[in-house]
Structure 1
């Protein structure tokens, strides 16, 4: 049970290349490897979770379940078999098949089957927690099945890591305090014994926090890797140089008479999961705010769906015009845009700022490309923008072309009643309104909520690869299993969802 702590056995000094780094590698690389086939959300398997051990004041963490629920194991196994270099013998051996080569390649003298497998459990997490001294410390919790074998295994890992030092015995600069303690079925690994003991003995755990529970429920689904962060608490714990960079990013003048208050709040929760034919990565921003007014998020209209079915790459963004105007206003207020710069732009280019930014970028903007069969380098690029003043934009384009010295015939753009189209050729203009991408099976599989998302991206990896195979004598076969990649963003500035999917053939 959380809170029960076994005395730590006497050990030799840990080193900077020792247990904490090695244990982090186990969890981190396992998360990345398993996450290569699925990721981020709530794990549905039974038994204690890492958050049942981690303290309630945890700032952020990432956890991995190396033995997920039955449906996820089946999907992981099927997806892994599509890659020739990944050797997984069965659904039940995923954890061991993925971890064994990692230990074989990284630690001398460590036999995974003898030293790690006999005690390693299915779950682990790497967390950031306050250390009580206005700083943050990393803590790892790893599930074990046999405490005695766990102690022996970790001591052997420690000895292996220490043997990789440049001096023998290790110098004072190389020695680092790292310790562990036991909490229920988890070993808590920290940079000093006090922290390890405090975490192992904590009574207020993260799993009991109502806000954390709500965040995980919002993510939903059966996930393999989960990451979570309390944005406000994490920001408050950041070093001053990092927070200063964030203030610069948002152009916050802390010396102003009435400075803008940068006060991040809310939380982030991320996850990866494996479906039968694709991997899904989901990130949710929940009640997220910086204290600085942001442009309102605009629901999408599915503009990218109007592109041709054979589009190999496409991207669309809604509300870009208003966002650009807001950015311009902020820059002008801060002095980044001067009256002299404004006068030059208005004089030479006949621009009416910031209103022309709204017209050019519009309420919806989409761009895409197709390729000629057998010639992957022959791309046709096209775009479509919904705007209230398409004729004005066309006039601006002609002015800009004149400034560059290009011939008018080299510019392909036409104005419509409520939008304008542009492209790399005269034929490209028609492609911008050909229709069909919304019915493309690859597109529909990897792009969530394409008709309403405020931002959408798509790449037909399978077709690109097939064209490269045709064009090259010895193409890289590493991309052969990949089918398509897509992403979408929906929601508003405070509560949004980013979904990315990678499908396999």
Structure 2
């Protein structure tokens, strides 16, 4: 593996308030993705500005290559209110190490490689965004004359308490190089759209702060009282996250889960993020408001999208999760799969996690009672239909480790080859449970091979693959696995997909740019670990070929 860019890049560090000691990095976050509900074809001016910066941060290798190396300067969190419960930041001028790593990684992708020297892509992105605008007024703005002179490199959006479904209390901070030009252009942009013409624009410390009508004064008063960058909880969470790359975000469930209910749950957050062109945040937080018991959730999650020379990584740390007990994990069973594995998923410590989380999980399941079941006792219905006892039988089935695997193969009309192995304190009980489930589901007795060897239960749709799983292998020794999944010695959840093998399967069915893009990628990996009571880490990596 290449040397970590974050180690040599001197990432931005938020100034900690006096008396606050930063925590040590190294502390699993879950997430959905509702689509914002807005009229088709409509593009708000705030969305246009946000879209330009977002697209640059996620795909603008040219900008990263030609920006001056430094990544210094203020961050949006320094001019946004400290009482925010959600925050998302995009940065096309990150640390020097991130720029170098981004160019090296993106250079592996054919769609990007040929445009690394094509100049500043912001103009092209602006033209693309304004071309899609249904309002001719927006299309009349000239990038070189009206946008480039003032548009900076960073944008941040903060969501504050007190909003409603129709009027979310948010603030967008856009970095600017010329206060007067920025305010004039943004005002004229908003005037193009009756729906946002009342948006308020204020300038502070090199940023344009855009808010919905009527909340500008209270937003700025909140910033004066204390910015998000001065919020000790926020700064410690971001310190635990480490390098914040080209995109970073933060969500406080203690306040946010309750507030999302006021915004209409998932739909409310989807609409909120859609207004700013940052709907990606909804994929991390959108479902919380609609989950039974979510309003009482506690804890925070900080995330970052960052680069290494060989991969792009979405990393997250979760801290202060209420009732989340630390569970020892190990991804060794994933790493010991046969080398011909195309895709695999492993859960370690599942038996203990189910028992620890059952009181909360049971309440959430019962909260769905009446949603088409005709009964409020959802758990009882599951037990009756499957002939199981919850959570005991679920813990037995998951065992100390549960690994699902799919070898490389050519898919046809026959049953695909797929298998699993369970490491359990009582593998015979797990085997008997599988037999009962197959009988309840009406499956033929030979539909699934299952056998016990010591403390392990092996299952497969074909006897030969059960033999392969029992024999094991050294999947974890491959470079692709090491890059995609990393160190699995403490992993509670780990996943690996060999995209080279996937490419072999879909060859002939994928063409053009999609084909070249898939061929330029090597693997996908997930690694999530519990690092203590109420805290954990998560990484999702996409490895280039």
TM-score bracket relative to the smaller structure: 0.7 to 0.9
Which residue does the alignment assign to 1:117?
Answer: 148
Which residue does the alignment assign to 2:468?
Answer: 431
Task: Give the 3 Å change call, closer, same or farther, for CA 310–55 of structure 1 in structure 2.
Answer: same
Counterparts of 1:399 and 1:206, CA distance in 2: 54
Please state if 1:336 is matched with 2:366: no
Counterparts of 1:444 and 1:60, CA distance in 2: 33
Question: For residues 296-311 of structure 1, what are the structure 2 equivalents within 5 Å?
Answer: 297-311=327-341
Counterparts of 2:70 and 2:250, CA distance in 1: 16
Counterparts of 1:422 and 1:451, CA distance in 2: 24
Counterparts of 2:209 and 2:175, CA distance in 1: 9
Answer whether contact 2:246 2:306 (CA < 8 A) is retained.
yes
Task: Give the 3 Å change call, closer, same or farther, for CA 104–294 of structure 1 in structure 2.
Answer: same
Which residue does the alignment assign to 2:318?
Answer: 285
Which residue does the alignment assign to 1:10?
Answer: none
Which residue does the alignment assign to 2:456?
Answer: 419
Q: Deviations over 1:173-224 (max 9, x none)?
A: x575212011121111111265167428832222122222211110012511
Equivalent residue of 2:466, what SS?
Answer: helix
Tell which deviates more after alignment, 335-344 or 234-243. 335-344
Match of 2:209 among 188, 201, 208: 188
Question: For residues 212-227 of structure 1, what are the structure 2 equivalents within 5 Å?
Answer: 212-227=234-249
Answer whether contact 2:52 2:122 (CA < 8 A) is retained.
no
Task: Give the 3 Å change call, closer, same or farther, for CA 398–34 of structure 1 in structure 2.
Answer: same
CA shift, 1:294, in A, is 5.0
Counterparts of 1:340 and 1:103, CA distance in 2: 54
Count of equivalent residues: 456
Q: Deviations over 1:414-437 (max 9, x none)?
A: 101111111121110122132111
Task: Give the 3 Å change call, closer, same or farther, for CA 207–20 of structure 1 in structure 2.
Answer: farther
CA shift, 1:403, in A, is 5.0
Q: What are structure 1's unaligned runs of at least 5 residues?
A: 1-15, 163-169, 253-261
Counterparts of 1:279 and 1:286, CA distance in 2: 23
Answer whether contact 1:66 1:94 (CA < 8 A) is retained.
no
Match of 1:51 among 77, 84, 95: 77
Answer whether contact 1:269 1:283 (CA < 8 A) is retained.
yes
Please state if 1:231 is matched with 2:253: yes
Q: What are structure 2's unaligned runs of at least 5 residues?
A: 1-38, 62-68, 267-286, 367-375
Q: Deviations over 1:122-151 (max 9, x none)?
A: 111111124599984121111111223223
Which residue does the alignment assign to 2:272?
Answer: none
Answer whether contact 2:109 2:544 (CA < 8 A) is retained.
no
Answer whether contact 1:308 1:437 (CA < 8 A) is retained.
yes
Task: Give the 3 Å change call, closer, same or farther, for CA 449–213 of structure 1 in structure 2.
Answer: same
Equivalent residue of 2:329, what SS?
Answer: coil
Which residue does the alignment assign to 1:154?
Answer: 186
Larger Rg: 1
Task: Give the 3 Å change call, closer, same or farther, for CA 124–413 of structure 1 in structure 2.
Answer: same
TM-score under structure 2 length normalisation: 0.73
Q: Deviations over 1:402-460 (max 9, x none)?
A: 55555544431110111111112111012213211111211110113323200011111
Which residue does the alignment assign to 2:176?
Answer: 144
Match of 1:480 among 519, 531, 535: 519
Tell which deviates more after alignment, 480-489 or 241-250. 241-250
Counterparts of 1:238 and 1:406, CA distance in 2: 43
Which residue does the alignment assign to 2:542?
Answer: 502
Equivalent residue of 2:186, what SS?
Answer: helix
Tell which deviates more after alignment, 211-220 or 186-195. 186-195
Task: Give the 3 Å change call, closer, same or farther, for CA 90–197 of structure 1 in structure 2.
Answer: farther
Equivalent residue of 1:228, what SS?
Answer: strand
Answer whether contact 1:67 1:95 (CA < 8 A) is retained.
no
TM-score under structure 1 length normalisation: 0.78
CA shift, 1:322, in A, is 3.8
Tell which deviates more after alignment, 125-134 or 359-368. 125-134
Task: Give the 3 Å change call, closer, same or farther, for CA 91–202 of structure 1 in structure 2.
Answer: farther
CA shift, 1:384, in A, is 0.7
Answer whether contact 2:351 2:400 (CA < 8 A) is retained.
yes
Cα RMSD for the two superposed structures: 3.7
CA shift, 1:398, in A, is 3.7
Tell which deviates more after alignment, 178-187 or 240-249. 240-249
Which residue does the alignment assign to 1:9?
Answer: none
Task: Give the 3 Å change call, closer, same or farther, for CA 100–73 of structure 1 in structure 2.
Answer: farther
Which residue does the alignment assign to 1:442?
Answer: 480
Please state if 1:128 is matched with 2:159: yes
CA shift, 1:497, in A, is 0.9
Counterparts of 2:379 and 2:326, CA distance in 1: 26
Answer whether contact 2:310 2:483 (CA < 8 A) is retained.
no
